[in-house]
Chains A and B, each alone.
Chain A
Amino acid sequence: MEILANLLNSNGANITVLLNNIIALVQNDGWKNLIMMAIGGILIYLAIAKDMEPTLLLPMGFGTIIVNAVACVADATGAISGYEGALTTLFQAGIANELFPLILFIGIGAMIDFGPILTNPKLMVFGAAAQFGIFMTFALASLFFPLEVAASIGIIGAADGPTAIVVAQKLITDPNYLHVTAAIMVAAYSYMALVPIIQPPVIKALTTKKERLIRMPYRGKQVSRLTKILFPIIITIVGGVVAPESIDLIGFLMFGNLIRECGVLNSLSDTASKVLANLITIFLGITIATQMTGAKFLQLDTLLILGLGLFAFVFDTAGGVLFAKLLNLFLKEKINPMIGASGISAFPMSGRVVHKMGLKEDSQNHLLMQSIGVNVSGQIASVIAGGMILAFFA
């Protein structure tokens, strides 16, 4: 009580300053920062309570609170200063130059087992088909945005956060559209977490029950160590020759995989897939949040981009399913069209979704190996799609 009395007695100056600050906040769009802090809180809630991509959404949510809390303070003139601090430095050092997403790719490469597609390489074609949403979204986004920006929005459909960041950072150089990068990053990561919600209705709408019941016996073959070692090297060479712009993305991903498969760097492989990936993910999430200030994020463009991102995921799923149905017109041994949907890069969520849907229709229909194989090929295809987009517009 004594402290409160002192506060009130200090000739009311403190209260006046407080009131001035509140007025300045309202007059200077400070309310946007308050909304962003609430959004940060929602992201933290989704991460903790709903277990939605917690490794990314939690740092992103907390980072959003940090950058908007600082920007909420008005100075003597009533102007609201933007956040400038360690996170800004991290953004310049790790995201503006695409370093974090590329390093993360080493960790992702070290996590992936390409075995399922090496036993049946033809499955990789579904990875290509499921990139359909990227280009459809690009075309749709071009109605509203310049081609470079539209291409960056389309890449949300890659369902691959690091690729989305790299492409957006390289293509969006127009100062009028820099704010779009944050929305792309948020959409890319949050829709990945929503794969189990987005994909099933699309798959069901495009397939009949009879198609969903198609069984695909898995013929497991032994893949030699030599094949597993040569595979990342071959992919890197093919990627570098055919789509040179994708060499960083493919190279880092395949380097991580080579560390995993070579058999003599188990300690490095373990570090890359766990410690390195976790470290980068912590910094990536909280650093992306520097772009989520009220002024940058709360715009009509953001809503539009979130809508386009959803469109991209839906059309990726549709592209894979419809391509499998098309192939079934010519194949003697039919393919379950649901596996086409797992050609997106969201690994392993998409593969698991298809497997679960198969089991729901028929408890003896195990599609896990095929869907995971297609899912892994989606990783490669999404990186190539990113390279294609860069080749067109970078």
Chain B
Amino acid sequence: MLFNLLAIEINVERFVSSLPYVGIGMLGIFIVIGIIIIATMALIAIENKIKASKKAKEEVNQNEQ
């Protein structure tokens, strides 16, 4: 279906065919960002855990001394 407006062709079929990309694209970005958020939170959590266990060990060592 082609219209012509001010010498610019308007292609409605192409517009319809672009819509799935809109949905998949936005979903894709949310998934990738979601993975990054999870990875970052896991990284911070692991680091906090390591820090906490190091602190606990140091406290035990200090108590033993």
A-to-B contact residues, CB < 8 Å? 117-118, 121-122, 124-125, 127-129, 131-132, 134-136, 138-140, 142-144, 146-147, 150-151, 224, 226-227, 230-231, 234-235, 238-239, 242-243, 300, 304, 377, 380-381, 384-385, 388-389, 392
Q: Could you tell me the distance in whole angstroms from the C-beta of B45 to the nearest C-beta in chain A?
A: 11
State A231–B40 Cα separation when bound (angstroms).
Answer: 7
**Majority DSSP secondary structure for residues of B touching A:** helix
Given A138-B18, A144-B8; 15 other pairs, CB 8 A cutoff: A118-B44, A121-B37, A121-B44, A125-B37, A128-B30, A134-B25, A136-B22, A231-B40, A235-B36, A242-B32, A243-B28, A300-B8, A384-B29, A384-B33, A388-B29
Contacts of A117 in B (CB 8 A): 40
Contacts of A230 in B (CB 8 A): 43
State A318–B6 Cα separation when bound (angstroms).
Answer: 29
The reply to whether A234 and B32 contact each other, CB–CB distance below 8 Å, is no
B47 at interface (Cβ–Cβ under 8 A)?
yes
State A127–B44 Cα separation when bound (angstroms).
Answer: 20
B-to-A contact residues, CB < 8 Å? 6-12, 14-15, 17-19, 21-22, 24-26, 28-37, 39-41, 43-44, 47, 51
State A122–B40 Cα separation when bound (angstroms).
Answer: 9
- Please tell me which one of the listed residues A131, A132, A380, A388 contacts residue B36 in the complex, with CB atoms under 8 A apart: A380
- Counting from the closest, the 8 A-B pairs by CB-CB distance are A142-B18, A128-B33, A121-B40, A135-B22, A128-B29, A139-B18, A143-B15, A142-B14
Contacts of B35 in A (CB 8 A): 238, 242
Contacts of A235 in B (CB 8 A): 36
Contacts of B34 in A (CB 8 A): 125
- Please tell me which one of the listed residues B7, B25, B37, B41 contacts residue A385 in the complex, with CB atoms under 8 A apart: B25
Contacts of A144 in B (CB 8 A): 8-11
Known: A118-B40, A227-B47, A300-B8. A132 touches B33 (CB 8 A): no
Contacts of B21 in A (CB 8 A): 135, 138-139, 147, 151, 392
Q: Enumerate 27 A-B pairs (CB-CB under 8 Å) in ascending A order.
A: A121-B44, A125-B30, A128-B26, A128-B32, A128-B33, A131-B29, A132-B26, A138-B18, A138-B21, A138-B25, A139-B21, A140-B15, A142-B17, A143-B10, A144-B8, A144-B10, A150-B14, A150-B18, A224-B51, A227-B47, A230-B43, A231-B43, A242-B35, A300-B8, A304-B8, A389-B25, A392-B25
The reply to whether B36 and A227 contact each other, CB–CB distance below 8 Å, is no
State A128–B19 Cα separation when bound (angstroms).
Answer: 18
Q: Could you tell me the distance in whole angstroms from the C-beta of B42 to the nearest C-beta in chain A?
A: 9
Contacts of A125 in B (CB 8 A): 30, 33-34, 37
State A381–B51 Cα separation when bound (angstroms).
Answer: 31
Contacts of B28 in A (CB 8 A): 243, 388
The reply to whether B33 and A127 contact each other, CB–CB distance below 8 Å, is yes
State A210–B31 Cα separation when bound (angstroms).
Answer: 32
Contacts of A392 in B (CB 8 A): 21, 24-25
